[in-house]
Amino acid sequence: MSKKIISLKDIDRSLTVHLKQIHSDPLINMIKYADCNTGLGSSIDKNGFPVTGLTEDKEVRNTSGKSNTIIPGTRKEMEKLLDLPEGTLKQTSDYWSNYKIKVDSDPIKLELNQPHDLLKYLFALGQSNVANSLSEIDSSSQNEFVLYSEEQEAKDRVLGRKALKEAYILSEQLDLETKIKILSVYGEVVDSTSPNTIIDRLEARLEDDPEKFLQIAKDNKLVIRALLSQSLDKAVLTTKNGAIYHGDVVVGHTEDLAIQAISEDETLRAILKAKLSGDMKLIADAIGK
């Protein structure tokens, strides 16, 4: 299950999710005693507001930077489902002052098709001390609680094995140059590495997250994305406040916009490739285009 829920459309509401406490004290790792209970309350964000786990409407911009569409956030959707006045579930609302989920020695069952259970799920999911699956329990020392769905856990394992098999098959079909491009997107520098080392490093990435590997390897803009990564790594391009620059010229205000710009500008691509090569004649030829 994804930790980031932007819209209720991202949730399979047919699922039953369980919430349980992992340890009564994360410092000494004591298992929770029977008949004891505690409360999962809100953490505080960097602005001093309670973390609700809910999101506001999000404006999505197209490649030109103009507003394209609005994705409805979960806060307004939950207010409608719970028949609450608009604004009740805002971060600044008193609603969250004493909001807690009571957790005892047995897992809490949350039926996501029930609005109040769905709110508990979103709230718990937003807290930094809640793992989002049984496999994530040991990923952070902060984890004190865990959300898990037995059905989803089984489904994820099946999909994970399928993705791993597909990733290995695809990896065998890739040439060495493509493998280097994929590694560069991961942020790895492989200029003078032996083929076996490249394959080993690629397969380590593949095994760690086969779905991410497949996403990168199947990206129809892999060549441009690799060129961008290599250019940033070699300081041919730089970043400032999230924007990507070539010298003093903004290539794109986001990575996606920069990729779009590079893909549409043949001269810029030639210049970047020439600068990466370090060949002064190629650089002069590229600039002269």
Pairwise pLDDT comparison (58 vs 162), residue with the higher score: 162
CA distance 98 to 42: 9
Nearest of 100, 103, 11, 113 to residue 55 by alpha carbon: 11
Confidence of residue 130 (pLDDT cuts 50, 70, 90): very high
Residue 2 belongs to some domain of the structure = no
Residues 97 and 166 in one domain: no
Question: From the CA atom positions of the chain, what is the Rg in Å?
Answer: 24
Residues 64 and 27 in one domain: yes
Which residue in this structure is represented by tokens 């569409």? Answer: 69
CA distance 269 to 224: 8
Residues 92 and 186 in one domain: no
Residues 121 and 200 in one domain: no
pLDDT score recorded for residue 66: 59
Pairwise pLDDT comparison (224 vs 6), residue with the higher score: 224
Residue 197 belongs to some domain of the structure = yes
What ranges in the chain are assigned the alpha helix state H? Answer: 74-81, 115-125, 150-173, 176-185, 195-208, 210-217, 222-233, 255-264, 266-277, 280-287
Indicate whether 25 pLDDT > 60: no
Residues 52 and 141 in one domain: yes
pLDDT score recorded for residue 28: 45
Residues 254 and 225 in one domain: yes
Q: Is 245 exposed, middle or buried (0-12, 13-18, 19+ CB in 10 A)?
A: middle
pLDDT digits (tens, 9 = 90+) for 27-74: 445 454 455 567 899 999 988 999 999 999 887 666 555 556 778 899
Residues 14 and 48 in one domain: yes
Residue 202 belongs to some domain of the structure = yes
Residues 128 and 84 in one domain: yes
Q: Which residue, of 148, 176, 205, is where some domain finishes?
A: 148
Residues 37 and 112 in one domain: yes
Q: Which residue, of 148, 177, 211, is where some domain finishes?
A: 148
Q: If you average pLDDT over every residue of the chain, what do you get?
A: 85
For 47-72, letters b (16+ CB in 10 Å) and e give eeebbbbbbeeeeeeeeeeeeeeeeb
What percent of the residues of the chain are helix, what percent strand, and what percent coil, each to the nearest 5? 45, 15, 40
Q: Is 182 left (phi over 0), alpha (psi -120 to 50) or beta?
A: alpha
Q: Which residue, of 148, 181, 208, is where some domain finishes?
A: 148
| Mean pLDDT confidence for 267-275 | 88
Indicate whether 286 pLDDT > 60: no
Q: Is 157 left (phi over 0), alpha (psi -120 to 50) or beta?
A: alpha
Residue 26 belongs to some domain of the structure = yes
Least confident range from 31-45, 125-139, 164-178, 226-240: namely 31-45
Long-range CB contacts for residues 68-73, cutoff 8 Å, separation at least 24: 71/6, 71/7, 72/7, 72/8, 73/6, 73/7
Residues 266 and 188 in one domain: yes
Residue 153 belongs to some domain of the structure = no
Residue 3 belongs to some domain of the structure = no
Residue 100 belongs to some domain of the structure = yes
- The domain tally of the chain equals 2
Residue 125 belongs to some domain of the structure = yes
CA distance 148 to 157: 13
Sign of CA dihedral 240, 246, 252, 254: negative
Provide the domain limits for residue 204: 159-287
Is residue 43 within 8 Å of residue 129, measured between CB atoms? yes
Main-chain phi, psi angles of 30, to 5 degrees: -80, 135
Residues 14 and 140 in one domain: yes
Residues 187 and 208 in one domain: yes
